[in-house]
Amino acid sequence: MAPKTTLNAKNLELLGAERLAELLIEISTGSAATKRRLRIELAGTQSSAEVTREVTKRLSSIERSRSMINWRRVKALKSDLETQRHVIVDTIASSDPDEALEVMWRFMGLARSIFERCDDGNGTIMNVFHQACVDLGTIASAASPHPRLLGEQTFRALQDNDHGQYDRLIENLSPALGAEGLDRLKSLFDDWAKAPVDTPTEAGLVVIGWPSSGPVYEDEFNLRHRDRTIRSALEQIADAQGDVDAFIAQQSEQARSVPMIAAEIAQRLLKAGRAGEAWDAINRIEMKGRQSPFEWEKARVDALEALGRTDEAQAFRWQCFEQSLNERHLRAFLKRLPDFDDLEAEENAFDCVSHFSDVHQALAFLLSWPAFDRAATLIRARAAELDGDHYELLTPASEDLQEKYPLAATIVLRAMIDFTLDRAKSSRYRFAARHLVECERLSTKICDFDTFASHPGYVADLRGKHAKKAGFWAAAGQ
């Protein structure tokens, strides 16, 4: 049974309504966000219309604001936006989905003003708007918008998609749009594609950038953006309508020779039961001599399977694995083998990995599989090839191997230490020092260093090479 001081709803109920009200007033003092939340809850005790007014008032305030939002304020903005979004979805939509739909469109309309003044380099705020697009689709399905009118509203929104906030709009609204709404939306984009474009005179040209290739003019940039918007929308509409040919029609001949585009076309044709055409689409591209993306390889395998050419599909999976060490190909290959044959094939795969040209890619595969014993063997056999600059791989490798394979973990740590000191990367000295301390701890678990230096011998060698790197030795406590 939880102690009475544990913070949970049941224990807080014991305080009584009056005391809880006093605490909420005290807690909300100085917190605008908490006060707004409380006002919304109070409005909810009256009617959903009152809640709508509170949310709309807050959305208007956010839209009017002109202050810059740096990275320190992004978290607070996200919290504010999430509060409004949840209220629209959980409170307004449950009682009045038509009203909620209008308010959610208003919410999405904030994106332009926010992104013009917000530092959202990691996509924190964009994720909120992408989730709101999902909510918009759910609410629209519960509401009763006229499909044609919804199509027109969707079109206007996508014309204003400068920041990508509406990238998922068609996908999420397609159930509510239905056939009539999608047809209307398609006709609007077709008309926009045919509409004449104003071309400024030479005197009216506006330069907005100077890359190495020459000036970038505003009208050309806007035209390319318009064309991308139209093409993307028509592709999504084609997918929503299940019209493979309409999707293909949006791809130029040059684009169809791009591996990723060819893969997208092939997968859609396969879904439509047109395996022969999918095979032709995927084989428009000559991949000999260059690394093919996984998506293209997967589409080719799927086409072979659909055509009943299973042996060829297996052979191609193995070929792709040998070239890239992509574990998805190997897992798919092993899954289709008879019992016990997969064990022998897995051993053959590990042998292939151990001799792979890029030791770091081989190590990454073995850690991911996982096959830590094989990873330890690889490290001991190819220690000289390890590049200590790959700390994003080697650090977790040392952590994974330290319990059962302390020598391999030590070799990995030494690789990072050596790189840091040999290159005099002073900003990494404190990390290298921690690695050296960890090496000392691991040395007590190693009975035989084989051909590698003992820990005292390694430290002596470091001192001989890097005695003057006082910052490192101080951090290491030596």
Contact 107, 92 (CB under 8 A): no
The answer on pLDDT for 443 being more than 80 is: yes
The answer on pLDDT for 332 being more than 80 is: yes
Q: What percent of the chain has pLDDT over 70?
A: 95
Give the start-to-end residue ranges of the domains of the chain: 357-478
Q: What is the pLDDT of residue 289?
A: 64
Q: What is the pLDDT of residue 393?
A: 98
The answer on pLDDT for 112 being more than 90 is: yes
Q: What percent of the chain has pLDDT over 90?
A: 77
Q: What is the pLDDT of residue 77?
A: 94
Residue 51, burial from CB neighbour count under 10 angstroms (0-12, 13-18, 19+): buried
Q: What is the pLDDT of residue 220?
A: 83
pLDDT grade for 264, boundaries at 50, 70 and 90: very high
pLDDT: which is higher, 221 or 329: 329
pLDDT grade for 101, boundaries at 50, 70 and 90: very high
Mean pLDDT of 28-47: 67
pLDDT digits (tens, 9 = 90+) for 266-322: 999 999 999 999 999 999 987 776 789 999 999 999 999 999 999 999 999 999 999
The answer on pLDDT for 138 being more than 90 is: yes
The answer on pLDDT for 2 being more than 60 is: no
pTM for the full predicted model: 0.82
pLDDT digits (tens, 9 = 90+) for 365-414: 999 999 999 999 999 999 999 999 999 999 999 999 999 999 999 999 99
Q: Kindly report the average pLDDT of the chain as a whole number.
A: 92
pLDDT grade for 31, boundaries at 50, 70 and 90: low
